[in-house]
A = this chain, B = another copy of it.
Amino acid sequence: MKQIEGGVCAAKGFTANGIHCGIRKNKTKRDLALIKSEVMANAAAVYTTNLVKGAPISVTKENIADGKAIAVICNSGNANTCNKNGVEVARKMCDITAKALGISTNDVVVASTGVIGQELDITPIAEGMDELAKGLGDNSVNAAEAIMTTDTVLKETAFSFNVGGVECRIGGIAKGSGMIHPNMATMLVFVTTDCAISSDMLKKALSDDIKTSFNMVSVDGDTSTNDMVSVLANGMAGNKEITEEGVDYEAFKEALAGVTRYLCRMIAKDGEGATKMLECKVDGAPTEEDATKIAKSVVCSSLFKSAMFGADANWGRVLCAIGYCGADIDVEKIDLSFASEAGKIDVCKDGYGIEFSEDTAKEILVCDEIQILISLKQGEYEATAWGCDLTYDYVKINGDYRT
C-alpha cells in the first residue's frame, strides 16, 4: 500500500467538480460539489448520532438503502437542518442531479453543511447544475474546496493497494473544522474506490473503521447534526470481488484506514482556530473501551487544550481528564510523556509528578504536532485520538459565525 496523489478521482472511473453556484455570498468560494462514478457503485455510509439530523441525512439513507449509488451532491453554506421544507429540498437536490447526469434520483447521495435553521434555496443549485456537471473531470480539488466551511486547508488523499495481484485505488476528500466530536460521522467525508467489494463487506469495513478513525477526532466536543462518511466502490479495478473476510478484505481495510487516518489528522490539525494537532496515544489499558475513553477525554479537555495552545506542560490536566472520563483504572500506575519532532520528555511516573526541565518541555510543546503518550501498565489495549488546541481564534470564529 502506498500513498499517491489525488483525492476522489484517484480511483478508476470517478470524476468530480466543484463550483460557486450562489448559496454563499462570497463569489470566490465554491459551494456545490459533485462526484460521479462511470458505473453503478456499491455504497455505504455512516451518519451522525445526533437526534437532530439534517434533512439530507434521511434522504441519503433512503437512497442507499439498496447499497447502490452513482453520484454524490453536496453544498456548503447551509446545513438544510431544522427547516420545515428540508426533506423536500434535499430530494429536489437529488432530482436535479439525477436529471443532469441521466441517472435515477435514488442513486444520489446528498449532503449539506453550514448554518442550521435557515431555509436552503434550491434556485442557485438548479441554475448551477449544468455548469457543475459539464465540468466533471479530474477535479477532486474543486470538489474538496466546495465542501469546505471554516476549513482553512483543503483535505484530500489517496492510496494504491493490491488485491489478488490487481492494483486498486482509494481516495477521499473531507471537511472538518468546527462541530467536530466523536460519535460517528462528525464531518463530511467522501471516499471513492475502484476496488470490487460487495455492498455488505463495504458496510462492514466502514462501520469498523470509523470506530478508530473519525470517532476518535474531536475539535470542540460538539457532535454535528449533518455529518456523514460515505464510500462508493465501483469495482473498475477489475479485482475479484471481495465478498468475505480474508487477505483481500484486510488489504482493503488497510487502504481504507490509510485514507481515513490521514484525513482524521488533517481534520484535527485544521480544527477551528487550531495552531497545533494533538495526538493522544494510550497503551496498557485493561479494555479497549477504557483506552478509547481516556484518549478521547484528553483531547476533549478545554483546560488541557488551552495549556497546549500556551505550550505549557501542565500534565496535571491530563491526569485530571483521565480521572473523570469514566474508565475503570488504577491511576497510580500511569506514566505520561509529551513528544514532538523536537524530542520526548517524561513528566509523570506511576501517577505522580517527576522532575523535568521546563525548557525542554517548552521546546517540545511549541511544535505544531504534539503527542501525548499515556502508558497505563494494566493491560494490553490501546487507542489513539486526535484533537487540537483551544485558541483565541476558535472563540473568534464561533462568536460570530452567522453574521
Contact = CB atoms under 8 A, between A and B. Distances in A.
Nearest to A323: B52
Interface in A47-104: 49-53, 79, 81-84
Interface in A343-361: 348, 351-353, 358
Interface in A291-325: 300-303, 306-307, 309-310, 312, 314-317, 319-324
A128 to B, nearest CB: 25
B312 A399 contact: yes
Contacts of A51: 322-324, 327, 329, 331
Contacts of A312: 399-403
Interface in A369-403: 390-392, 394-403
Contacts of A390: 302, 395, 398
A401 B399 CA distance: 24
Interface stretch (A9-17, A31-39, A203-211, A217-225): A217-225
Contact of A319 (B117, B301, B329, B400): B117
A180 B402 CA distance: 29
Q: How many copies does the complex hold?
A: 2
Interface string A218-240: 00111111000000000000000
Contacts of A319: 52, 82, 116-117, 225
A51 to B, nearest CB: 4
A172 interface: no
A50 B303 CA distance: 15
A396 B391 CA distance: 8
A303 B179 contact: yes
A307 to B, nearest CB: 6
Contacts of A302: 220-222, 302, 390, 394, 398
A152 interface: no
Given A49-B324, A307-B401, A324-B183, A81 B222 contact: no
Contacts of A310: 398-401
A215 B395 CA distance: 25
A96 B100 CA distance: 83
Given A82-B352, A329-B51, A399 B322 contact: no
Across the A-B interface, give the 5 residue pairs with the lowest CB-CB distance, nearest first: A116-B316, A310-B399, A52-B323, A306-B398, A117-B353
12 contacts: A51-B331, A52-B351, A117-B315, A117-B316, A117-B348, A222-B303, A302-B302, A303-B398, A306-B394, A310-B400, A312-B400, A314-B401
